[in-house]
Amino acid sequence: MSLKTIEWKDNSVIMIDQTKLPNSLEFVTYTDYNQIADAIKTLVVRGAPAIGVSGAFGLALAVLQCDTKDKDELITYLENAKKILFQTRPTAVNLTWGLEKIMRVAKNAGTVDEIRKSVIDAAKLMANEDIQINKSMGKNGSELFNDNDTIMTHCNAGALATVAYGTALGVIRATKESGKNIKVIATETRPVQQGSRLTAFELKHDGIDVSLIPDTAVGYTMANGLVDGVIVGADRILQKGHVFNKIGTYQVATMAKQHNIPFYVAAPLSTFDLKSNPEDVIIEQRKASEVTGIGDTKTAPDGIDVINPAFDMTPPELISGIITENGIAKPPYNESIKKLFEAKK
C-alpha cells in the first residue's frame, strides 16, 4: 500500500515530514496555517499536487483560527492567509489552483458558520479527489508500457508528491498492478536528492524493483540500452505543452530524444496553466547551501557563487505524451490539451 502524505484529522493537518526521509518516517501535526506555509517552504511537504492540497488545508486551518463573527472580516483574514501560502512556492500552479478554489467556496457561502464548514469540506474533498485522479491517470498511463520494461524517472512524482498513489509513480504502480513485470531507474536528483531520498524509499516501501543512479549517469544508462521509457511529473504545464518540472528534467528529456526513448509526463489537469507563456513563469531560486553541502558536510569553498534554480522548462518537441486523468495528450499539444479540457466539462 502506498504512503499517505497528508490528511485532515480532528481539525488538524497531519503530514509526513519528508525532510527526515529516508532515515525515519515521521509525522508532524499542524493547527496553524503559518505552520503549513513554513512546511511548504522548507520542503516538509513538496510535489505540486501535495502542496495544492496543503494550501487548501492551510485555509481550512485559517477559518478555524479566525474567531470573528463577521463574514467580511473572515474573508479578509482568508485573503491574507492565501497570500502568505502562495508566496511559499510560486512555480507550481497547483498551489494557486487549490487556494483559489477554496476562496471561491468561501465567498459563495452565506454565513460565517457556513464558510467554516464549506471550506473544511471542500479541502477534504480535494484531498480525496486527488487520490482518485491519480489512480485514473495511472490506469491511462499503464497502457504505454510493456512487460519487462525498465522505466526511468526523475525527482519524486509519487505518493509523497501527492495525497497518495502519485502521478508518474502512480503510472508505474498501475503498470505493475496490471500484471506487467517492470523495473525502475531513479535519478538521485541533486541538489536536494528527491530521487534517492524519496523515490527510492517509496518504491522500496511498495516492493517495486528500483535502481538508483547519479544524475550524471542518465546518458550512460540510455546509451547502453538500459532504459525503455521515461516518465516524470510536472509542476506546471502550458497550453502548447511546455513542461516546468524539477531541475534536470530538461536534460533527461534531451538525452531521451537523442536515444529515441519515449519521454512521458504525468500530471492532473489542475497542473495545467492555459493562460501563461513560457517567459511569464517565475522559476523559484533556492538557497546556495543546497548546492555547497550535503547535510552538514561542506562540499564547496566558502563564498562561491551559486546558481540554484528549482525548476527548468522542457519544450514540447521533446515530449512523447502527457498523461492526465482525462486521457493522454499527444503532439500537437495545443490541440490535444484543449480536447482534454473539453472532455472535462
Q: Which residues are catalytic?
A: 235
Q: Which phi and psi (to 5°) does residue 29 adopt?
A: -120, 130
How far separated are the first and last CA of the chain, in Å rounded?
32
Q: Residues 331, 316: contact at Cβ < 8 Å? A: yes
Q: At what angle do helices 48-65 and 112-142 cross, to 10 degrees?
A: 170
Integer CA distances (angstroms), 332 to 148, 230, 249, in order? 30, 20, 20
Cβ of 257: how many Cβ atoms within 10 Å?
Answer: 15
Amino acid at 263: F
Residue 124's contacts (CB-CB under 8 Å, 6 or more residues apart) are 8, 60
Q: Residues 123, 56: contact at Cβ < 8 Å? A: yes
Length of the chain: 345
Task: Kindly report whether the peptide bond that precedes residue 331 is cis, defined as omega within 30 degrees of 0.
Answer: no
Amino acid at 174: A
- How far is C-alpha 332 from the chain's CA centre? 24
Residue 21's contacts (CB-CB under 8 Å, 6 or more residues apart) are 160, 197, 198, 201
Task: Kindly report whether the peptide bond that precedes residue 49 is cis, defined as omega within 30 degrees of 0.
Answer: no
Cβ of 256: how many Cβ atoms within 10 Å?
Answer: 22
Q: Residues 61, 50: contact at Cβ < 8 Å? A: no
How many Å apart are CA 107 and CA 79, to the nearest integer?
A: 11
Strand partners, 265: 232, 322
